Structure 1
Amino acid sequence: MLLLFKAWQLHIEDCEHLESISEEMFHSTNNSLQSLILRRYPNLKTLPDCLNTLTRLTSLYIYNCENIKTPLSQWGLSRLTSLKYLGIGDMFPDATSFSDDPHSILFPTTLTSLDLSHFQNLESLASLSLQTLTSLENLAIYGCPKLRSILPREGLWPDTLSRLDVWSCPHLTQRYSKEEGDDWPKIAHIPCVDIHD
């Protein structure tokens, strides 16, 4: 188990036998914590209830926590109004979408960078309401073999989006590949696009 703690950063990884995170470790940092990283925490089932109270949090990365049962729609991320960088991956193995509620707002509009990786059954990003992320500059999607569409629900991208990276998503490669994909014209305006298997 690795636990790295600084006044503004908390990094927890390789916790193979733990099923929860003590909220006590957050109490003294609620007003100062800016970065939280959880990685390789295979038995973690729930996130701390206080997650959405970390109002100064600017970056959050949660990877390889495949047994988290709390749906993304209940994480309360939209309340984290300082959050700029978000990365999530290797969880929700059965999910085809991030939310069943078409009107839910999952992320704060302050996000500038969003990384999504290794969602094995994810089919659509429509529930993320990407068009509402009016500060989004970078979107990266890796290892989502069943994902068929990345367009926001209304088909409009934030004007701020300047980079799109898609790797190991075969359906997306076919649809959005430069000049050859049927949907290439829908992303051609993005200044930097990198799509490959």
Structure 2
Amino acid sequence: MLALEDSKLEISPKTIGSLKHLRFLCFPERSVDKKVSKSICKLQNLQLLALRTEELGSDIRYLINLRFLMFSTKQKCLAKNGLGCLTSLRSLWIYECENLEYLCEDMQGLKHLRTLSIHLCKSLISLPQNLKYLTALETLAIADCENLNLTMEEGKDNQDLARFSLQNLNIASLQQLVIRNCDELSGRCERGQGEDWSKIAHIPNIFLDDSEISSTGN
């Protein structure tokens, strides 16, 4: 286990890449450069990774044993054949990605993902259509994503990311839905009154702006 919190500490890509048996690696408050990020992807025994980086490249797919991933990136769109190839991933946290507009289009590969949390991604326009194939997903949390659009126009191409609609999201095992700081969406999901309440009423645990709404389908 290695947690690097000192922002002044210089990190050698060669040193990081040689820690073959490392399972937990955290860069909680600092950003790592592209060379370090690429070296991290050599650590095939890694199970937990938390980092800030300029780019989360496709080399991330080599972390075949990764269970927990928390990251911040400067990208506008995540690379294909990268994040979506992490078949062992159980928990994914995406935070403070100011430029991120779209997630990767191959997320259907995250077959064991149970928790997806997206926070402070103010440029995020939509969620990918293939999110509906994450049948193991139990917790979906979205906060401070003020430009996120979850509506879809009838008769339009369902593959258009900017018109993704939550009512077409089919996740049989979803147990918890968290919505924070999204005033319009919170209003639409208000218990018994919001126009989208019927679409989420089956979810056992719903949190709107930190207020718990217990639901049993009523």
TM-score interval, smaller chain = 0.7 to 0.9
Match of 2:103 among 95, 98, 104: 98
Taking the aligned partners of 1:78 and 1:68, their CA distance within structure 2 comes to: 16
Q: Tell me if 1:191 matches 2:193.
A: no
The structure 1 segments of at least 4 consecutive aligned residues displaced by more than 6 Å after TM superposition are 3-6
Match of 2:194 in 1: 181
- CA offset digits 1:82-101 (Å, max 9, x no partner): 00100102114362x436xx
Identify, as 1 or 2, the structure richer in helix: 2
Taking the aligned partners of 2:175 and 2:207, their CA distance within structure 1 comes to: 11
Q: Following TM superposition, by how much is the alpha carbon of 1:184 offset from its aligned partner in structure 2, in angstroms?
A: 0.6
Give TM-score, length-normalised by structure 2. Answer: 0.71
- Give the residue type in structure 2 aligned to 1:124: S
* 8 Å Cα contact 1:130-1:152 kept in structure 2: no
* 8 Å Cα contact 1:58-1:85 kept in structure 2: yes
* 8 Å Cα contact 1:121-1:146 kept in structure 2: yes
Taking the aligned partners of 1:25 and 1:156, their CA distance within structure 2 comes to: 34
- CA offset digits 1:73-129 (Å, max 9, x no partner): 43622211100100102114362x436xxxx3225121010001112133432x252
Calculate the aligned-residue CA RMSD, in Å: 2.8
Q: Following TM superposition, by how much is the alpha carbon of 1:152 offset from its aligned partner in structure 2, in angstroms?
A: 5.1
- Give the residue type in structure 1 aligned to 2:135: T
Q: Following TM superposition, by how much is the alpha carbon of 1:171 offset from its aligned partner in structure 2, in angstroms?
A: 1.8
Alignment of 1:12-91 (within 5 A): 12-15=27-30, 18-22=32-36, 23-27=38-42, 29-30=43-44, 32-38=45-51, 41=52, 44-63=53-72, 65=73, 67-68=74-75, 71-74=77-80, 76-91=82-97
Aligned length: 181
- Give the residue type in structure 2 aligned to 1:20: K
SS of residue in 1 equivalent to 2:111: coil
SS of residue in 2 equivalent to 1:11: strand
**Cα–Cα, structure 1 residues 12 and 34, in superposed 2: closer, same or farther, change >3 Å?**
same
- Give the residue type in structure 1 aligned to 2:5: L
Give TM-score, length-normalised by structure 1. Answer: 0.78
